[in-house]
Amino acid sequence: MADQDPRRPPQPFNPHELTQQFEQLLRTRRLNAFSQRTRSRPSSQSSPYSSPVPSRHPSQQAPHPKSRSLHDNQNHHLPSYSSLRNLPKVPSPPQDPGSLRFRNQLLSLSVGPTKYENPGLLDEALTVIPLDRIYGEAEDESQLLQAQAASMDPPQKPEWGYQDCVIRALLKWFKRTFFTFVNNPPCPGCGSPTSALGMTPPTPDESARGAGRVELYKCTAPECRAFERFPRYGDVWALLQTRRGRCGEWANCFSMLCRAVGGRVRWVWNAEDHAWTEVYSEQQKRWIHVDACEEAWDNPRLYTEGWGKRMSYCIAFSAEGATDVTRRYVRDASKHGLDRNRAPEEVLVWITDEIKKLRRGDNTSKDDRRRLVVEDHREEKELRGYVVRALAAGLDRITLSDGQPSPAGEEQKLPERISGSQAWREARGEAGNRPPSSERPPREGH
């Protein structure tokens, strides 16, 4: 600038300052859009889902030169305004056929976790868990974490509480001892490998235990050629007996066992054929990602940055409602996100609010409702924070033109998928950076 003192050294670049300026631009654009929509509402015949084009208000002051430069280049380097998805949405009821189908699907999915509250089922689950072993390992880890925290200067709070350690011990036992992942089930007669033949209708007994579909396999041994059925059970009691399945069965059964030992759980549905669990940590006051298939704990970037998976919707269901948690798992929507075209964003907010009202009905006390609202606001702040940090990281990558390395932890190598055969993972496009196979693999199921 012309009035800058040449004797003063140049100020170092501050990405945080640019992030704040960019957020201010977003707020200004949204205010202008709202003002224009308000003025044009009597004569507007546009769709309720359309967004007006923002315009500059005559009284608006000119932005700072750095802000103007950032605004001029944001369409080339930064995520679009609409893609950030972190601004408040006005809930709108579904009206078009696609939105109504999506609502029915989410309402159906939301019923599953309510079954985890069945006292008889929880008692049955406790009979299969080695409680002495689980609680013993949890106590040992909890004491170790407390000792480590107390040894810090100044003393810190332990990273995980005792209940978190219980879930971590349960996760290790479930993955290594209790449940089995199924690629192609072995022949029941001779134990030889089998080959898939397709789908077959479930029997009445299989349907009664929640099997909406059954996969049919045939033994590859010439002298046997026996058939094997693989029902995809959705009933948790049946899974306690069979103790096998793919990610849908793993997440379903593990979530219920977490509930049996006292954890608050969510079952997370992903539109791209995966499912996992979230457990609430009272120690950290947030929901923790847990994937029993991978023995993964608090690693939500695993799927996009480890597996190379692209995702559109990640919806968490519990006995307390439903929440869109996609921002927790898709940090870079331009790189790892897919089109969210099943319903407008305002409609999705309306659907999740509807499920929350349904689950938090008259049986929920006023104190619990207030607590859940506080948790909802805290989680929304957390999810927005992921968007802001992703934006700041993008600014760093744009402005670091001298080949400096990225900040520590941003480019850390995350593990590839370990559950399922290598061919099966490659066919699903979940084998890291390897391209997906043209062969269609069996679904994991939800």
Q: Cite the active site residues.
A: 247, 274, 291
- d(CA 231, CA 64) in angstroms, rounded, equals 63
CB atoms under 10 Å from CB of 247, counted, come to 23
- d(CA 278, CA 316) in angstroms, rounded, equals 8
In DSSP terms, 281 is beta-bridged to: 286
DSSP 8-state code for residue 174: I
3 state DSSP class of 167: helix
- d(CA 119, CA 162) in angstroms, rounded, equals 23
Q: Give the HSE-up count for residue 339: Cα atoms under 13 Å, Cβ half-sphere.
A: 3
- d(CA 30, CA 398) in angstroms, rounded, equals 25
- d(CA 138, CA 167) in angstroms, rounded, equals 8
Decide if 232 contacts 219 (C-beta within 8 A). no
Distance of CA 350 to CAs 15, 92, 108, 355, Å?
35, 6, 16, 9
- d(CA 78, CA 72) in angstroms, rounded, equals 11
- d(CA 170, CA 129) in angstroms, rounded, equals 8
DSSP string covering 296-331, please? EES-TTIIIIIS---BS-EEEEETTEEEE-HHHH-S
Vertex 24 angle, CA 21 and 30, to 5°: 145
Vertex 390 angle, CA 387 and 392, to 5°: 110
DSSP string covering 261-299, please? TT--EEEEEETTTEEEEEEEETTTTEEEEEETTTTEES-
Decide if 341 contacts 368 (C-beta within 8 A). no
Q: Which residues of 283-313 are buried (b: 16+ CB within 10 A; e: fewer)?
A: beeebbbbbbbbebbbbbbbbbbbbbbebbb
Q: Give the HSE-up count for residue 220: Cα atoms under 13 Å, Cβ half-sphere.
A: 8
